[in-house]
Structure 1
Amino acid sequence: MTLTQNPPTVRQQTGRTVGKSYQSLVVMLTVTVALLGGIGTRLAYLQLVEGQYNRQLADDNRVRLIPRPPERGRILDRKGRTLAGSRLSYAVFLWPIANRQANWRPIVKRLSTILNIPEETIQKRLDQAGYSSPELLRIARGISPAQVTALAEFSQQMPGVQVQAEAVRYYPHGDLAAHVLGYTGEMSDEDLERRRSEGYRLGDVVGQMGVEAAFERQLRGQWGGQQVEVDGMGHVLRVLGEKSARAGNTVTLTLDLDLQKAAETVLGDRKGAIVALDPRNGAVLALVSRPAFDPNLFSTHITDAQWQELQSKSYPFVNRALQGYPPASTFKIVTTTAAIESGRYSPSTVLRTRPYIEVGGIKFWDWNNAGFGPLDFRGAMAWSSDTFFYQTAMGMGHEPLIEWTRRYGFGRKTGIELAAEESAGLVPDPVWKRENLDEEWFIGDTINMSIGQGYMQASPLQVAVMFAVPANGGDLVRPHLLKDQEAARSWRTPIGLSPTTLRILQDGLRRVVSSGTGTVMNTPSLPPNAGKTGTAEDPPRKSHAWYGGYAPLDNPEIVVVAFIENSPEGGGGKVAAPMVKQVLETYFNKTQPDSQAAPQGGVVSD
């Protein structure tokens, strides 16, 4: 048997060909080793050095992050009734990585038509997120059923577009307490840049004013979501991981829903504010500002027509309860205090009132243009005699008046949680006047200030805090909206009133109701109470109307202040006092007014 066979043709080797085949084999082997080594080195580099990066690229094309925003914490009144909660709504999301940038253009155009959102707006959001982002990007909230249907019909032509249900903010009472609660909305680019380090992301919804903004940290909650694997069409293949969203905390306010409703009803469509607080601890029971707005409009997407309607109102977003106005004759509480505590006037002082006081050729008139004859401090408070307080101001000078004005909390923010929207008001003094008006302080400035006019500015909330001082026995309270279990004394600071001054204030405020300018409050429907009228001039516009009071007389539980901006119906005793009366009736009798308070005819009014 032949085990081997020679090839049919054997090439004859010569001296020139000996070793050539061996050399070729070596070269080929060297090239092969080099190639394999290069490929191996590259594979090792890609896997060991850039492995994490390349795995991320692969994951980004097959793994989708489906974020789930948390349900915002509820806002409740002091009795646990819902003031702000959540409801389900539909939102539109984009998955940027699903398409190349150029392929998004026709999709954006169609979305713009269906959602009535400018193409530029959608395109800007995509540019901000980045086209390699695997996270869903919200571009519209609160879409209508018709829009949901349209998006479903065109879903095949719009890969990377999803419609999902989500919780949005809901205010069951509409515009009730709108300025207290505020509203929510998506963050602006500037806010996002400023707060990105706090974990906020593009499209996040945050509180924009009021309690929603003040307690954003408590109400916000924590995001959750799913990490899912998808196929090339974007269909979910499996869930890789899940983190539950954590709802925000519930915030319970000091507001009383029934009292808030009553205050809003009696103020009606007038411009102004009503504040009710507990003089024992500063808890705000009601805080109303009109005109108002419906915060539900901002929970999804406000239309141009809705925005224009809001703009047609007179500054509906201004919280008038926290803005400064001349406090008028309510301020005579401070002037009485300063006059007696300065030592220039004894508690038993009697001064002759007259039609006017003339100083430097200027006549400062009493509000009735006649005067009231001889009065003591109690009588001057009851009848709100301007010329009585002019004389006390001239006698003590501006220093004690300004000092006691500041002791009562004027000229600085009250400490309420809505600090971003609160005005500090103004306590004018010689330094302020020189710096702002380049003028010296005149005796006429002191005279005007003594009746809450001139440059003096105070908010309805500050005036309510002032009334709390005689109501609670001489302490300045810090108004607050967050309900808690702290002792009442922790919210109070004595301002240094002597017992005699305190008694004169309390007696004078009671006489306002029993026989003076506030007799509309002297009614069997209320327990004995005390208060003060005020009418502030605001030329060339109509005067502002004020009334502040507290009840019951022997152990006050509530202070209510009503303010009507440029009241066309009359002064404090005629217009503002009837509002306070009805709010107090709700508090003590559990009744609800059914219409705005009517002016009281035939009332002697300051």
Structure 2
Amino acid sequence: MAIGLPQRVSVSTNRNGDSERTVGRHFQSVIVMLMVSAILFGAIGTRLTQLQLINGARNRQRAETNRIRLVPKRPARGALLDRNGEVLAGSRLSHSISIWPIALPRSEWPIVIQRLAQILDVPPDRIRQRLEQAGYESIESITIARGISPVQATAIAEFSSELPGVRLEAEAVRNYPNGDLAAHVLGYTGEITDEELDSPTYEGYRLGDVIGQMGAEAAFESLLRGQWGGQQVEVDSAGRVISVLGDKPAISGSDVQLTIDLELQKLAETALGNRKGAIVAMDPRTGEILAMVSRPTFDPNIFTTKITDAKWEQLQGADYPFLNRALQGFAPASTFKIVTTTAGIESGKFSPEAVLPTFPFISIGGIQFWDWNNAGFGPLNFRGAMAMSSDTFFYQVGRRIGGETLIQWTRRYGFGSKTGIEIAAEESPGLVPDDAWKQENIGYGWFVGDTINMSIGQGFLQTSPLQVAVMFAVPANGGYKVTPHLLKDGTAENWREPIGMQPSTVKVLQDGLRQ
């Protein structure tokens, strides 16, 4: 038998004076209130269960990251030293600005970004893009500006209450104490680009890292870089550090000693002056680069601060100051007669003491190939021909041995290939033309005239000043081709190999160059 709740009980007074009472309306209201309360408490309990049991770990982490901050500590970059320990590239103290994305809700960042952009004199979008790239929930600091001025640093400090989540930090920035001296050897540093971050080459790097962008700075990046450290700190709601919870010291990068001689570099730069060109000084025994100059040049210190659009346009001008002309291809001209002499004697078609007549010009295929003095020098041997730089002498040598033999020895000297120097990214291999190259690029094959031109370093032949230095090293060191290098390691055996010529040929070359 089901028992239901009473729907209505009433009590009231009748004509006889009896009372009649109504019961039930208020009891029903209580029941409704109890049911509503049960639903509300059930919803709250469900939400608490979700927060504590299901999302508990995530919410605890968010609570921790709202007061626990990871402050990365950038490692000091290693110095670049000359062969005697003189500093060519070091560091100086400067200030940078970083932001901590998770310090503020996303809705509050626009006001801070606007104020920060005014102080730094940069477009707000630039800061916003960096913030969005890292993510508003990121717990790692993002560097926004480096090398800021003292005025900007003071403003950041004064208006810190208006800049929550913004941090003024002291850091070491690259410094080149000799200005533009050896700029093409040293290179420069700059902030890693988005494209570089996506490259496997830079795996493990982070947004805002500074890397070598050219020269030795780029070539020895792995040695110079060091390893990041960091601090785990507790902060208050304004981002101020309350206590340090943990510390991992940064590991400084290694100093790298180069083969460059600072004093010799200064002399070479003075000798070249403002003329467009290049100078290479190399130890012929080991391949150590003692000096390397290229003009025009640039001051790598400009990359430690913000570069104006006008300055960047100037650097990209017609003179191409970033181009290292010591590594670019040019016609070697008469310096190439070392190769022609070698090929002539080693071919067996000329003895080391062979004598040839010289002329004002020689005619081949109806074309006159003139000597440089338009007169000739009379009978000459190889030594005399090198000393006088007689063109018609070497025309005859090249014609008799043929283009194939001359090309073979040209490549044996290292022409047509990169030299192996560590800054190979900026190096041209040059060009050693042959029949196949001419067919593909010119539309017809190799002629005797091509051999004639090549025998005195003209025609399509292209060699860099560094390759020419390697060529001169062969007779100077007794017949070894060296690998030019910038890293000072104290060994010679690893950097040289015999070129395969007879001692008598080496002697002729040495005598001819001395004359």
The TM-score with structure 2 as length reference comes to 0.90
Alignment of 1:400-411 (within 5 A): 400-411=405-416
Identity %: 65
Structure 1 window deviating more from structure 2 (408-417 vs 277-286): it is 277-286
User: Residue 225 of structure 2 corresponds to which residue in structure 1?
Assistant: 220
Alignment of 1:369-388 (within 5 A): 369-388=374-393
User: Residue 65 of structure 1 corresponds to which residue in structure 2?
Assistant: 70
Alignment of 1:271-290 (within 5 A): 271-290=276-295
| RMSD of equivalent CA atoms | 2.3
CA distance in 2, matches of 1:353, 1:301: 61
Q: Deviations for 1:515-561, whole angstroms, at most 9, x for unmatched residues?
A: xxxxxxxxxxxxxxxxxxxxxxxxxxxxxxxxxxxxxxxxxxxxxxx
Count how many residue pairs are aligned between Structure 1 and Structure 2: 488
1:391 to 392, 396, 401: 396
2:263 to 258, 262, 275: 258
1:510 to 503, 509, 514: 514
Change (3 A) 1:100 1:42: closer
The one-letter amino acid paired with 2:187 is: G
Q: Give the gaps of 5 or more residues in structure 2.
A: 1-22
1:268 to 261, 269, 273: 273
Secondary structure of the corresponding residue to residue 91 of structure 2: strand
The one-letter amino acid paired with 1:327 is: P
1:364 to 365, 369, 382: 369
User: Residue 540 of structure 1 corresponds to which residue in structure 2?
Assistant: none
The one-letter amino acid paired with 1:429 is: D
The TM-score with structure 1 as length reference comes to 0.77
CA distance in 2, matches of 1:346, 1:235: 84
User: Residue 351 of structure 2 corresponds to which residue in structure 1?
Assistant: 346
User: Residue 499 of structure 1 corresponds to which residue in structure 2?
Assistant: 503
Is 1:463 the equivalent of 2:463?
no
2:341 to 336, 343, 352: 336
User: Residue 183 of structure 1 corresponds to which residue in structure 2?
Assistant: 188
Alignment of 1:99-248 (within 5 A): 99-195=104-200, 198-248=203-253
1:432 to 410, 432, 437: 437
The one-letter amino acid paired with 1:496 is: G
The one-letter amino acid paired with 2:192 is: M
1:298 to 283, 298, 303: 303
Structure 1 window deviating more from structure 2 (154-163 vs 320-329): it is 154-163
Contact 1:91–1:142 (8 Å) recurs in 2: yes
Is 1:310 the equivalent of 2:315?
yes
Contact 2:197–2:203 (8 Å) recurs in 1: no
Q: Deviations for 1:458-477, whole angstroms, at most 9, x for unmatched residues?
A: 11111011011001100101
Alignment of 1:472-487 (within 5 A): 472-486=477-491
Structure 1 window deviating more from structure 2 (467-476 vs 155-164): it is 155-164
CA distance in 1, matches of 2:202, 2:477: 45
The one-letter amino acid paired with 1:499 is: P
Q: Give the gaps of 5 or more residues in structure 1.
A: 1-16, 512-606
Deviation at 1:202, TM superposition (A): 0.7
Secondary structure of the corresponding residue to residue 337 of structure 1: helix
The one-letter amino acid paired with 2:451 is: T
CA distance in 1, matches of 2:102, 2:299: 38
Secondary structure of the corresponding residue to residue 198 of structure 2: helix
Secondary structure of the corresponding residue to residue 396 of structure 1: helix
Secondary structure of the corresponding residue to residue 502 of structure 1: helix
CA distance in 1, matches of 2:239, 2:167: 10
Secondary structure of the corresponding residue to residue 83 of structure 2: coil
Contact 1:78–1:256 (8 Å) recurs in 2: yes
Secondary structure of the corresponding residue to residue 397 of structure 1: helix
CA distance in 2, matches of 1:261, 1:49: 70
Deviation at 1:489, TM superposition (A): 2.3
User: Residue 490 of structure 1 corresponds to which residue in structure 2?
Assistant: 494
Secondary structure of the corresponding residue to residue 106 of structure 1: helix
Q: Deviations for 1:9-28, whole angstroms, at most 9, x for unmatched residues?
A: xxxxxxxx9xxx9xx99xx8
The one-letter amino acid paired with 2:73 is: R
Deviation at 1:197, TM superposition (A): 6.6
Deviation at 1:47, TM superposition (A): 4.0
Structure 1 window deviating more from structure 2 (140-149 vs 397-406): it is 140-149
CA distance in 1, matches of 2:57, 2:349: 83
Deviation at 1:46, TM superposition (A): 4.2
Q: Deviations for 1:453-499, whole angstroms, at most 9, x for unmatched residues?
A: 1011111111011011001100101111111133x222111111111
CA distance in 2, matches of 1:190, 1:311: 21
Which entry has the higher C-alpha Rg, 1 or 2?
2
Contact 2:415–2:429 (8 Å) recurs in 1: yes
CA distance in 2, matches of 1:197, 1:468: 37
